[in-house]
Structures are given as C-alpha cells and as structure tokens.
Chain A
Amino acid sequence: MTKTLEKVLRKPLTGILISVVIGFLIGTVILLVAGFNPGSAYAAMFRGIFSKPKYISQVIINATPLILTALSVSFAAKTGLFNIGAEGQYIMGTLAAALIGYYVQLPPVIHPIFILLCAMLFGGLWGALAGWLKTKFGIHEVISTIMLNWIALYLNNYILSLPGVKKQGAQASNEILTSARTSILWDWKRSDAGKAWVAEHPVLGDILKTDLHWGILIALVAAVVIWFFLKHTTKGYAMRAVGQNPNASRFAGINVNRNTVQAMFIAGALAALGGAVQIMGTNSFRISVLPSHEGYGWDGLSVSLLAGSNPLGCILSALMFAALKYGSSTMQGDVGAPSEIINIMIGVIVLCIALSSIYPMIADSLKRREEMHA
C-alpha cells in the first residue's frame, strides 16, 4: 500500500494533477466566500466550453498560439534555460506578420510560408539576443528577457506610430492582404451558397462560424517536430545535455555557449510562430497599439509548467488552459462570478506546481519511516 503511494508520489504527473485539484479547490472557496454557488458557476463554465460546436472550435483556435508559446518555454526549459521572454518573441512574430503581410505582395500559399519563415527569423533573433547576452556577458536570461519583453512591446507601439503604418482612425495597423491569410473557407462561408450550407449543417456550420484557420495544424506539427528533435536527434540530445549538466557537456566536447544561443533562437522562433499564426488566422488580421502585454507568453509559461515541459503535453494543457479562460466568460455572463477567478486559479495551480518538489520529499520520508519499521 505504502509502496504504491510512494511510487505515485514520485511520478511528475501526480504533482500536476494535485496542483490542478488544489487550483479548483481554492477557486471553489473564493466563489463560496464571494457568495456564489460554485456548482452552478462551474456548470456555466463547462456549458460555455462544450455546449456548442462553435465553442469547442473557438477553444481550439484560442489554444493555438498558446501551444506555440508553451513549446517555446518548454524547449528552453529542456535545454536548461528559463524563457520568460516568450511574450516579447511573440510580439516580434506578430510584427513580422503584420508588416510582411501588408507590405510584401506574394501569391497565396507562398505568402503565408514566407511570413512564417520571416517571423521565426525575427523572433529567433530576439530570443538569441538573450542567449548571447547570457553567454557573452553572463546576464541571466530571466532578467534580460523581462527587459526584452517590454522593449518589444514599445517597439510594437513605436512602429505603429510611424507615418503610414497605423490605419486612419484606428489604434491598429492595416489588415494583412488576403493572400497572406490562413483562414479556412473565409470567402465561401460568406457567399450565398456558403450561408445556405451553414444553415443546413448544424454542427459543421456552427464550427464554420468561428475564425477557423490552419494555425492549429502548424502548432501540432511544431509540437511533434520539437518532441522528435529533442528525443531522437543528436543535436537535440546535445542541447538536453547542456540543460542538465553544462560542465559535463563541456567536458564531453559540446560547445555549451553555441548551444545556448541556438536553443534560445529556436525558443524565440517558436513563440514568434505563435504570434504570426495568430495574426494570419484570426480576425482582425492586424496588430494594435498595446497598452500592456496581452499575456500569450506568460500564459505559455503556465501551460508549459502544467505540461511538465513535455512538448506533446503542451497541446493538452494549452487546450485545457484555453478552455478554462474561454468558459470563464460564460460563467461571468450566466452566474455573475467575475471571470478573473480563472486567473487566480491559474496562479494557484502554477504556485502549486512550483511546490511540487515536495511530493518526492514526502515519498522519501514515507520510505524512511517504512525502513525504520522493517
């Protein structure tokens, strides 16, 4: 009995699941204290996620950039780096997409691919900058990426303030050209034939009402590629080795500095991919003046922690994360409980994950106690 408990406590998944449960428990307590019925609040939330096909579709669309920013954080974590800079790298991706999507004219299909590559280059360099600052000047990546996040934010606002970039009368740029968009059946579903089809097909038609786009496929492919790269390639192995023990890696002949910069490049490219996909796929196809961070990077950090830095796990935890956030608006509308309860719950979950090293410690003490009795 104790043996199984011990084993369970040592599994990384245990800590994650306990954290999620504690998050919901604290959420329940807060709802109770604030005078709401937690049962009906959570019921409303789940209705807001599952009751209509278009809700589920919207959750998937919202999860798409999160998968990519979470992949960015996870990849960095696997290589021993703490990438708090996904937020800024994401912004670089949106900038690249918005500018190249509007100013460069290319045929469809080629245009989005060109944008994706450029965005990855932009974001990759932004990430590599933090890696370079670390290897060259010993500046910890947490500090440098926090600074770079805000520099990226104001760079975004600065570029929007340049003449001609901002659309007249809007606090945003011009929409990207249609050739650059990755929407699915955008024109068709607005045509007469499309409208008729949507009316006839309750499930698929409902899904088509959302901003369906190809981004989720890009995110899924990225997750699998990153998983394969880390697990089954020599380069990926070298990067993980650097993450786990830089000194041993150096001794084994791995260039630690070069790997650090390259790892930050890839992490930055992934986050920027998230930004580009979001701009190319979702209405309104443009960037806006940002008063503060939108939070895709910070959310990606939480998603990655929830996934235990597992690239494939990021898909699932991003979906859960997006679902909770999306469902919370229904909770607010139907029950009146402020949707920010979700942010508190997410914070609690992240905090508990930070604490999850105590479960193996409990397992240790269990083992010790057993040995004493034996």
Chain B
Amino acid sequence: MLNTIILAVSITLMYSAPLIFSALGGVITQKSGVDNIGIEGMMTFGAFVGAGVGYATGSPWFAFLMGGLAGAALAFVHAFAAITLRASQIISGVALNFIGPGLALFLCRLQFDGATQSVPVSKKMPNVLDLFGISSQSLLNVNITVVIALLLTILMAFFLYKTKWGLRIQACGEHPAAADTLGVNVYAVRYVCCTLSGLLAGLGGASMTLGVVSNFSPSVISGQGFIALAAVIFGKWTPHGAMAACLLFGFAQALVVVLGGSGIPSQLLAMLPYLLTLIVLVLFVGRSEAPKANGKPYVKGER
C-alpha cells in the first residue's frame, strides 16, 4: 500500500515537472500581456535540442540549458511579431506550433541519419538522492528537474508579488498605459517576459527528454504545451496555482499507471485537464482572473 502511494507520488512529480516549467512560462508572459499559444512548439523544439545536444556532448546540464535557449529563440520571434510588429498573437503562436516541431524533426533527421527518433542520451539529468551519494532504490528518488521546477515556482511567486519588478510586470498586463506613464518600458518588459516563457517552455521540453525519457521522438511532446496553457487558466494566472494544477494533471497521469487499466478508462483521465479547465472557466463566469490587457498589443498614446 505504502509502495503504491510512493509510486503514485513519484509518477505525479515526474509527469508534472515538464508541465510546471511550461505553465510558469505561460504565467509570466500572460501576466505581462502577451498571449503565447506557441508553447507546445517551443516545448517540442526544446525537447529535441535537449536530447540532441545531450547525445552529442554527454553533458545533461549543458543540454538542459541549450533546450531552454532553443525555446527562448522561438519565443523571441514571437515577441518581435507580437510586440514590435503588433501581429495577431494567436496566429503567430499557431505559426510557431508549426515551426517548432518542424525544426525539431528537421534537425533530428539531419543529426540521426534520417531517423525521427534520437539515440538515447548516455547521461540523463541526475536523480536527487544520487546527487547526495545516497544510493537508494527508493521510489522517491525523483529527478532533479522536479526540484528545479518546484523551486522556480517559489522564485517566480516571490518575484511577481514581492518585488517591484514583479509588480511592474503585472502592471504591463493589467494596464500598460498606466505602467507607461510611471516610466515602465512596457515593450522591454513584454519582450523579456515573452522570451522567458520560451526559455521555460524549452526547459520543460528538455526536462521531458533528459529527465522523464532519454530520447526525442515525434510524439514525446503531444499536448503538454496545451495542458500547460490549461494549467495557467486553471491556476488563475498565479505561479503557485499553475503548479498546483500541473500536479493535479500529473496525478491524473499517475492514476492511469497505478490503476493500470482497472477502474477508470485512461482515455477519460487523459481528457480530465481539458474538461476541468472548461468547467473552471464556466464557474468563474463574470469574474475572470485573466490579466486585463493580455493579448492586446500596446500602442503608445492610444486610448
């Protein structure tokens, strides 16, 4: 019984980590007022770069970082389109959902002789207990990416609510004109936040290919980006809320594994994140918690 519980907890944490990274990215960009539905594409690109660099260099930490930067590069394109050129943020996001996986598979075929699956990396991101030299067979020996994801949540919550920079970001998402009159550079803040969201999504993707599994395949990221998007809404646009939502969605995954076919059909559990998000939105009716200026380009001097 205890083992089952520990197993459920560790699977929950394992599946949640990539979601938490990406959901935090979704929170920070939407808080600043830039919608990003291209997170799925950025995750996929980050997942490949993580696996590809990890295979080539043998250094999981370096590969993890590169995965993040790969996502950030795509997000920078989105930022340029959305902020500087005031393009439709939804269409730009859709475009990145084509470009991200396209680039990932293109590069994968180049690096791995035409295969859409990469060769597993020799070293994954370490597990926490191994790091301290405790060679434990415990099921609770979670991956370091889980710990990083949880720490980042605390960091972001502190940053957003307790520092002046965090408050400035929120001002940009709620009322950019007011922030502007107070001397906040709305464009710069949005650029940084949008690029950060790609960095986090890239890390999320890389944590999938370097922490959960050990190689890239076309279906390794299938919907996690959209679940992260759902988690942002479900968590009412707060870092801790989004994290809690990710843990809940991860727990649904764990149930599939632990229950193993008996009981609730896995397909219905997989549906849960999306269904719950819709239900929550219906219950929120009339008091939307979304940043007010989210998705609207800011034009200086416009009423």
Q: Report chain B residues within 8 Å CB of A161.
A: 265, 267
Contact B274 A157 (CB under 8 A): no
Check if A51 is an interface residue, CB within 8 A of chain B: no
Q: How far is the CA of A146 from the CA of B90 in the complex (A)?
A: 12
A157 and B267 within 8 A (CB): yes
The interface residues of chain B lying within 8 Å CB-to-CB of A350 are 91, 94-95, 98
Contact among B219, B230, B270, B281 with A154 in the assembled complex (CB-CB below 8 Å): B270
Contact B90 A142 (CB under 8 A): yes
Cross-chain contact A348 with B95 (CB below 8 angstroms)? yes
Given A137-B282, A151-B274: A338 and B109 interface contact (C-beta under 8 Å): yes
**Could you tell me if A347 and B277 are in contact, using CB atoms closer than 8 angstroms?**
no
Closest to B98 in A: A347
Assess whether A348 is in contact with B99, with CB atoms less than 8 Å apart. Answer: yes
Stretch at the interface among B65-73, B81-89, B167-175: B81-89
| CB–CB B102/A344 < 8 A | yes
A336 to B113, CA, bound (A): 10
B63 contacts A by Cβ under 8 Å: no
Shortest Cβ gap from B1 to chain A (Å)? 28
Chain B residues near A343 (CB, 8 Å)? 98-99, 101-102, 105
Chain B residues contacting A55 (CB-CB under 8 Å) are: none
A351 touches B274 (CB 8 A): no
Residues of chain B lying within 8 A (CB to CB) of residue A84 = 90, 94
Q: Is A256 positioned at the interface, with any CB of B under 8 Å from its CB?
A: no
Residues of A within 8 A of B87 (CB): 351, 354-355, 357
Beta-carbon contact of A344 and B230 below 8 Å: no
Given A143-B281, A338-B114: A30 touches B106 (CB 8 Å cut-off)? yes
Whole-angstrom distance between the alpha carbons of A109 and B128 in the complex?
Answer: 64
Tell me the bound Cα distance from A302 to B95 in angstroms.
8
Cβ-based interface call for B96 (8 A)? yes
Residue among B105, B106, B230 with most chain A CB within 10 A: B106
Asked whether B183 is an interface residue with its Cβ less than 8 Å from the other chain, the reply is no
> How far is B106's CA from A124's CA once the two chains are assembled, in angstroms?
37
What residues of B have a CB within 8 angstroms of the CB of A136 in the complex? Answer: 285
Q: CB distance B99 to A347 under 8 Å?
A: yes
Given contacts A137-B282, A150-B223, are A347 and B37 in contact (CB under 8 A)? Answer: no
Asked if B77 lies at the interface with its beta carbon under 8 angstroms from chain A, I say yes
* Residues of A that sit less than 8 Å from B by CB: 30, 34, 82, 84, 133, 136-139, 142-144, 146-148, 150-151, 154-155, 157-158, 161, 291-292, 298, 301-302, 305, 336, 338, 340-344, 346-348, 350-351, 353-355, 357-358
- 8 inter-chain pairs at a CB distance below 8 angstroms, sorted by A residue, are A84-B94, A138-B285, A142-B37, A142-B90, A146-B226, A151-B271, A340-B106, A357-B87
List chain B positions with a Cβ less than 8 A from chain A. 37, 77, 81, 85-88, 90-92, 94-103, 105-106, 109-110, 114, 219, 222-223, 226, 229-230, 233, 265, 267-268, 270-271, 273-275, 277-278, 281-282, 285-286, 288
